[in-house]
Structure 1
Amino acid sequence: MVNLTLLGCGGNVPLPNRFLSSLFINFKGRKILVDCGEGTQVSMKMKNCGFKDIDLICITHTHGDHIIGLIGLLSTMGNSERTKPVTIVGPIGIKEAMNAITTLITLPYKLNIIENPSGLFSLADPILADLSIETINLDHSTECIGYNFHFARHPKFDVEKASKNLVPKKYWSILQRGVSIMDDEKTYYPEMVLGESRKGIKISMITDTRPIESIPSFIDGADLFICEAMYGDDLDISKAIKNKHMLFREAASLAVRGNVKQLLLTHFSPSVDDPKVFENNAKSVFKNTILGYDRFSIDINFQE
């Protein structure tokens, strides 16, 4: 199971009831943050997320409403006696932005910066061994990337297969985790005890962009597609084009074309006081649409 919490669902400026863009992901106790706008720490405190153990921070782009909260959050993590390095992934410009931030604060841990990764990649950190990440270049007013998070699921343990291959029981649990073992000059491999592969979970996050042609194939089959919905009214199309954002209806159209299971709308303009007024503009196109709000949580379960 993957648990997600929308810590903030606003764009541009925070409102009394709406903090800026931030998503918290918890997978097997591993904590991932996507963007860190103003209010992120407040929502984390309200949801009891915990600051110290964030393993990975992914940034979509370096506009203030997506990164300004990093100054306070990284400091708080340091004050919580964090010493383990933190990995930060982002587009072109993330190294420069982090250099600027670290001139303002002193951290007791190292930052590992991954700038502008391409294609599908995994992190060296064994803690996140079951996670692979994929990025896409988007169409915004600055360098901006979207993310696919692929959470792997280990195959079922096959007792009959393990017995047939004469694998000692004391090694079963280790091999099930995908680790090979050498014993008395004989090597035991995970495939000696594992059955058929099982489908994992795919979470797609696209924000601050126009609905470009490369998005549907990128998000294809996602269990959850989290997408910006800056403007609700179809009449705001000229604003969306000018500012390189999306309408509710455009986000829903991408969900249809991407064959996703669920759509979660976020990143609402301050001018959209009540997103529910425009809910039908999305649901009439893609029925399984959820309107995000601060601290909304959802569990995505592995499918049998």
Structure 2
Amino acid sequence: MPYVEVTVLGSGGVMPTSERLTSSFLVYDWRGYTVLLDAGEGAQIHLHQSPRSVHDIDLILVTHEHGDHVNGLAGLLQSMSVTRREKPLTIAGPKSVVDFARETLEATSGRLGFQVNYLTLEGEGSLLLYEVGGDKLLAKWAPACHTTESLAYRLEWRPRPRIRAEALKSIGIRPGPWISELLRDGEAKIGGAVVRLEDVVEPAKGASITYTGDTAPCESIIELARESTLLIHDSTYSSELEDEAFSRGHSTAEHAALVAGEAGVESLLLFHVSPRYRGYEAWRLYREALALFPKTMLSWDLQRIQVRF
């Protein structure tokens, strides 16, 4: 059964603490494709405590250049190098992030020992990450509303339609993998009967994960997150600090809940928790969001969430 696993490597914001490292999420799907969303300081420490390794990562999507989202990148690349990674790695994000990785970190194949591909992203767009056996994974992006150029990302899985065996049997046709190939053009004559693809397939329900990075409440985020299975949204502050949140390009937990409701997402995960909320103080953010959006979760480091579809 197709599934996606999200591991929280860093749920905090601004600076790492003994309770929370800074922003980083590892997304792994049933085909083994692995995406790292941001690389906050210490990301690889928690990566080593997860079921995955630095060698699993295929793509790193970075939202923006602030340190609590990129300071773990150098350590990750070095660990990949000293453990003799061979497969190529792609790093994508705004121009400032790509310049930082390429120039400041000197992240070249000659230095690291493996190929690094860079993608400079801007505005809105999408990219096909893979298509295997009819299953597709797309990455989409749109501007966030932060104090510097920043992008939010959506990972969208589109499984291939499934042939309904009972529909074939009802018209006297033996099910088998050969049916999909035979119906490639939409219909075919099988055993004297004309069989149309739409009559015997069931569209598969996909899944999508939207990750905001740092952002104030934002129309572009709402559109990007529309009907997402999981929305991972900036929730830096409690409601009493709303003015500070706006001035610094962040959201309160209530803001995140309102965006989740307007976008029609299935579940909301609060992250980028300010270090001022220690221990059980962080539950204050959870309670504020929960009052507005029932399917809310509060993130913590090394939390694992599975999405099945």
Instruction: Indicate the TM-score class for this superposition, using the shorter chain for normalisation.
Output: 0.7 to 0.9
**What SS is found at the alignment partner of 2:58?**
strand
Deviation digits for residues 149-197 of structure 1 (CA, Å, limit 9, x no counterpart): 10121211355769x9x9996x649959x9xxxxxxxxxxxx6997232
Rounded to whole Å, the distance in 2 between the matches of 1:210 and 1:128 is 37
1:127 CA drift (Å): 11
2:270 corresponds to 1:265:
yes
Q: Which residue of 2 aligns with 1:83?
A: 86
Cα pair distance change 1:173/1:275, threshold 3 Å: farther
2:158 and 2:206 in contact (8 A); partners too = yes
Q: Which residue of 2 aligns with 1:240?
A: 245
**What SS is found at the alignment partner of 1:254?**
helix
**What SS is found at the alignment partner of 1:93?**
helix
The residue type paired with residue 68 of structure 2 is D
1:72 CA drift (Å): 0.7
Cα pair distance change 1:120/1:167, threshold 3 Å: farther
The residue type paired with residue 103 of structure 1 is E
Q: Which residue of 2 aligns with 1:181?
A: none
1:11 and 1:20 in contact (8 A); partners too = yes
Q: Which residue of 2 aligns with 1:45?
A: 48
2:295 corresponds to 1:293:
no
1:157 and 1:193 in contact (8 A); partners too = no
The residue type paired with residue 136 of structure 1 is A
The residue type paired with residue 263 of structure 1 is L
Correspondence list, 1:243-258, <5 A: 243-258=248-263
2:79 corresponds to 1:73:
no
1:46 CA drift (Å): 1.2
Unaligned runs of 5+ residues in structure 2 are 185-196
The alignment yields a C-alpha RMSD, in angstroms, of: 2.9
Unaligned runs of 5+ residues in structure 1 are 179-190
1:125 CA drift (Å): 8.2
1:123 and 1:129 in contact (8 A); partners too = no
Cα pair distance change 1:173/1:16, threshold 3 Å: farther
Cα pair distance change 1:30/1:175, threshold 3 Å: farther
Deviation digits for residues 76-109 of structure 1 (CA, Å, limit 9, x no counterpart): 1122221121111112322211123432782111
1:75 and 1:107 in contact (8 A); partners too = yes
TM-score (norm 1): 0.85
2:92 and 2:118 in contact (8 A); partners too = yes
2:133 and 2:160 in contact (8 A); partners too = no
2:92 and 2:120 in contact (8 A); partners too = yes
**What SS is found at the alignment partner of 1:148?**
strand
Correspondence list, 1:204-243, <5 A: 204-232=210-238, 234-243=239-248
1:30 and 1:127 in contact (8 A); partners too = no
**What SS is found at the alignment partner of 1:198?**
coil
TM-score (norm 2): 0.84
The residue type paired with residue 200 of structure 1 is G
1:30 and 1:128 in contact (8 A); partners too = no
Q: Which residue of 2 aligns with 1:132?
A: 138
Cα pair distance change 1:125/1:113, threshold 3 Å: farther
The residue type paired with residue 272 of structure 2 is H
Cα pair distance change 1:143/1:125, threshold 3 Å: farther
Q: Which residue of 2 aligns with 1:62?
A: 65
1:40 CA drift (Å): 0.7
1:155 and 1:194 in contact (8 A); partners too = no
The number of aligned residues is 287
Q: Which residue of 2 aligns with 1:9?
A: 11
Correspondence list, 1:118-157, <5 A: 118-123=124-129, 130-157=136-163
2:134 and 2:159 in contact (8 A); partners too = no
Rounded to whole Å, the distance in 2 between the matches of 1:73 and 1:278 is 31
Rounded to whole Å, the distance in 1 between the matches of 2:252 and 2:299 is 15
